[in-house]
Amino acid sequence: MTLRHVTVLGATGSIGTSTLDVLGRHPERYRVHALTAHHSREALLTQCRRHRPAVAVLDVEEDAAWLRGQLAEAGLVTEVRTGRAALVEVAEAREVDTVMSAIVGAAGLLPTLAAVKAGKRVLLANKEALVMSGALFMEAVERYGATLLPIDSEHNAIYQCLPADHRGGLGRHGVTQLLLTASGGPFRGWSRKELVSVTPDQACAHPNWSMGRKISVDSATLMNKGLELIEACWLFDARPDQIQVVVHPQSVIHSMASYSDGSVIAQLGNPDMRTPIAYGLAWPERIDAGVETLDLFQIARLDFEPADEMAFPCLRLAREAMATGGTAPAVLNAANEVAVDAFLAGHLGFTDIDNLVARVRDERPVAPAGDLETILEADVLARRAAYDWLARH
């Protein structure tokens, strides 16, 4: 058994804490090299006490100074660094072989790419990074020999349902379709009219999964499924028309692959992110994730229905952005991040999230996404357009 050295980007979040839970179950297999957080210094301190990383990263110096003081008092030698450059450093550090990418949003792009370019095993939860930079990201994985393991439960499921080497297009392996399951979110079955007045707390109360607030809102608008559709296209070399979204309210089947002989292979499990996280950490082995085995008698039934793209236009907007290509997915992502923030802050109605994304899409020109500068510029300008729209409404 090889001892693996792990950096957890976004350690204090929902995915980050689940990752540390799994790591903590296997001290003989894993050492934590670095833990990063944005502002949650208390949570990071608790994690440092428990996992004793060599490095901890926070965004600003004031929080870092506080953490240094607390660590010194506790007699810990963890070094505390700050800022974006430090995130990149701990992602590409020589001492590290595995990086969990669990920062939310575009902020995760540069450190995740750094881990890829350093040839690490990259556990990708931060779907926004791949949505923004798809072609460039996948080329870098290939060129620098990184091992990319999807952590998003649907993509992790598809990965498990495909042949071990699935490169070169789905058709080559007899795969006819990827079936991407969706819970439908907390407002499944609601009309557009009913959605107008939903609150952030309602949107964040997901029926099956407990997650960060941004992805919870994305799940409620179905933008999450749209981002996942784009993510699946890049990860599995699929066209948007090869991916079917299937609403499956129980969230027990995490996704499926259909084959030309009529077989459909599915991965099932309780909705607990520690399963795909443990899969990514131990691949190609399997380890205990702390998750109970599925009890099919207790679940009793599984339901399936199509997604309602009239009530939830974000899914269509994402599919269109993928078909347009170039910087369109980066623009979609940036506008959505601004819209979700505004919604969570109480400045934007729920159904104006997709309105805002569509308006920014209409305004911003699309460029080929050949280099990182173009992608980052598209991101910045789309955010600016989104703030302008918010200021006018």
- Could you list the residues known to form a binding site, using ranges: 12-15, 126-128, 152-154, 183, 206, 212, 219, 224-225, 228
**How far is C-alpha 153 from the chain's CA centre?**
9
Tokens of 192: 């557009």
Q: Binding site for Mn(2+): residue ranges?
A: 152, 154, 228
What binding mask, one character per residue, do residues 256-275 give for Mg ion by CB under 5 A, x or -?
--------------------
Q: Does 222 bind ligand NAD (CB under 6 A)?
A: no
Q: Does 212 bind ligand NAD (CB under 6 A)?
A: yes
Question: Which range of residues in 17-25, 153-161, 236-244, 374-382 is near Mg ion by CB under 5 A?
Answer: 153-161
- Diameter over CA atoms, the chain: 64
Q: How far is the CB of 236 from Mg ion (least distance, A)?
A: 14
* Binding-residue total with ligand NAD (CB under 6 A): 26
Q: How far is the CB of 139 from ligand NAD (least distance, A)?
A: 21
Whether residue 88 contacts residue 69, with contact meaning beta carbons closer than 8 Å, is answered with: no
H or E segment to which residue 194 belongs: helix 192-195
Tokens of 217: 């809102």
Which of 22, 19, 23 shows the shortest CA–CA distance to 9? 19
| Of residues 255-294, those binding ligand NAD (CB under 6 A) | 273
Q: How far is the CB of 154 from Mg ion (least distance, A)?
A: 5
Q: What is the DSSP string of 24-80?
A: HT-TTTEEEEEEE-SS-HHHHHHHHHHH--SEEEESSHHHHHHHHHHHHHTT---EE
Phi, psi of 256 (to 5 degrees): -150, 160
Alpha-carbon gap, residue 45 to 34, rounded angstroms: 12
Nearest to ligand NAD of 214, 359 (CB atom) = 214
Which of 59, 148, 134, 143 shows the shortest CA–CA distance to 98? 148
User: Residue written as tokens 């200021």?
Assistant: 391
* Binding-residue total with Mg ion (CB under 5 A): 3
Q: Which does 11 bind (CB under 5 to 8 A by kind): Mg ion, ligand NAD, none?
A: ligand NAD
Q: Does 104 bind ligand NAD (CB under 6 A)?
A: yes
List the one residue from 59, 152, 272, 379 that touches Mg ion (CB under 5 A).
Answer: 152
Q: Does 107 bind ligand NAD (CB under 6 A)?
A: yes
Which chain residues interact with ligand NAD by CB under 6 A?
Answer: 10-16, 37-38, 40, 59, 102-104, 107, 125-128, 152, 209, 211-212, 214-215, 273
